[in-house]
Amino acid sequence: MGRYRFFSKLTKCVAFALVFGVVGGTAFSGANYFLADHLTGKVTEDISEEVDTSKIQPASTSATTKSTDISGIVEGAMPSVVAITSMTQQEIRSFFGQGQTIESESSGSGILVNEDESYLYIATNNHVVQGASALTVQFADDSTAPATVRGTDSTSDLAVVQVDLSDLTEETKQAIQIAAIGDSDAVSVGDAAIAIGNALGYGQSVTTGVISALGREVTFQDETTSQTISSRLIQTDAAINPGNSGGALLNADGKVIGINSSKYSDTDVEGMGFAIPMETAQPILEDLIANGKTTTTGTPYLGIYGVDVTEEVSGQYQMPKGVYVAQVVKGSGAETAGIIAGNIITKIDDQEVVSMEELKSCISEYKVGDTVTLTVKIANNGSYLEKEVAVTLTGQNS
């Protein structure tokens, strides 16, 4: 990333939601009580959609403006951009052990970047596909096909999903095309930018703007995993809307120079969207396509949504003090080890924990792949049984 120009560091930390930048379709009734203190905060709305100023004319001295027609650029690029629908399953339980599994639908975007004899490969953001139990891709001709995750890299917030070519009709194959990749190193501040993506899950739409800064160091933190990711990104003032995550940021030639990734959200801030430069993304995407791997580097995490069982709550509900497991992340170390919603974590190895913050702090002292021993209390007919569970810590999406 040293190839990029350095500007002032963005010091504020932007928080990822569980499905950052994607549009969630199901409300989790009853979950707010358990998750409010741990899943809220300043959240970034993902991925920006930007409309280009590819042929923007300077303002004339007569104060009149000339409209810019970018329809040709958009028409050429639209067949390379797709909408991605992700289905996730999450279990919600009350303090008394009652619960249900809720299926949630969310939307993001993707870019067609490669194909071989068997598959079509689509670049997107890791957070678009994180925890997905099923993925569906919608193409420019409105046809759809099932997709699977080829590989992910949580440290760069990148992922590749694949679609079996046998699931596509000949008409769809003729309607789509692999994206033309531009040189993000050649971008200058003030250049026109066009963003295409699945805004609000309504389907593909376009916004325009300019490149407002390069090499912006932005730090994101997933509130559910505590994983911190720092990246040097392209900053743009184009309009950004939820659902654009994984969509294309184009230059005036209609070539992809970035993968839309996030928006800075603050009442005092307007027009600060970010995209992963293609010079950063391309080697990672090529590696994921070639090796089909899921990375396990980065900050380790347990994979739960936790709520503090305070002294007051403990006394009121006759519960052990600790961290109440309100939800378990699918595919995480916690799920693999058998931790379920309703368990109460009281220790990690020999250290007592009485809050989610303490648990996160303890986890941060380990590495991905380390095994820890959790002491959990399990509700049993009005009382609690104690059990030790060995959990192997994973990366964000391993």
Domain final position from 291, 312, 345: 291
Q: Mean pLDDT throughout 67-91?
A: 84
Are 318 and 276 in a shared domain? Answer: no
Q: How far is residue 376 CA from its own chain's centroid?
A: 30
pLDDT for residue 92 is more than 80: no
Active site residue 127: yes
Identified catalytic residue from 46, 52, 157, 308: 157
Identified catalytic residue from 46, 48, 86, 127: 127
Give the rounded percent of residues in the chain with a pLDDT score beyond 90: 41
Are residues 109 and 240 in contact, defined by beta-carbon separation less than 8 angstroms? no
Are 52 and 125 in a shared domain? Answer: yes
Give tens-digit pLDDT for 6-32.
333 333 333 333 333 344 443 333 333
Give tens-digit pLDDT for 338-383.
999 999 999 999 899 999 889 988 888 888 778 999 999 999 888 8
Active site residue 245: yes
Active site residue 157: yes
Would residue 61 count as lying in a domain?
no
Are 311 and 273 in a shared domain? Answer: no
Would residue 133 count as lying in a domain?
yes
Are 259 and 308 in a shared domain? Answer: no
Are residues 288 and 151 in contact, defined by beta-carbon separation less than 8 angstroms? yes
Domain final position from 237, 261, 291: 291
Identified catalytic residue from 245, 261, 262, 398: 245
Domain range for residue 201?
13-56+68-291
CA distance 218 to 274: 9
Tokens of 134: 């099923």
Going by their DSSP bridges, the two strands 13-16 and 205-222 should be labelled as parallel
User: What's residue 157's pLDDT?
Assistant: 86
Give tens-digit pLDDT for 157-183.
899 999 999 999 999 999 999 999 999
CA distance 249 to 49: 7
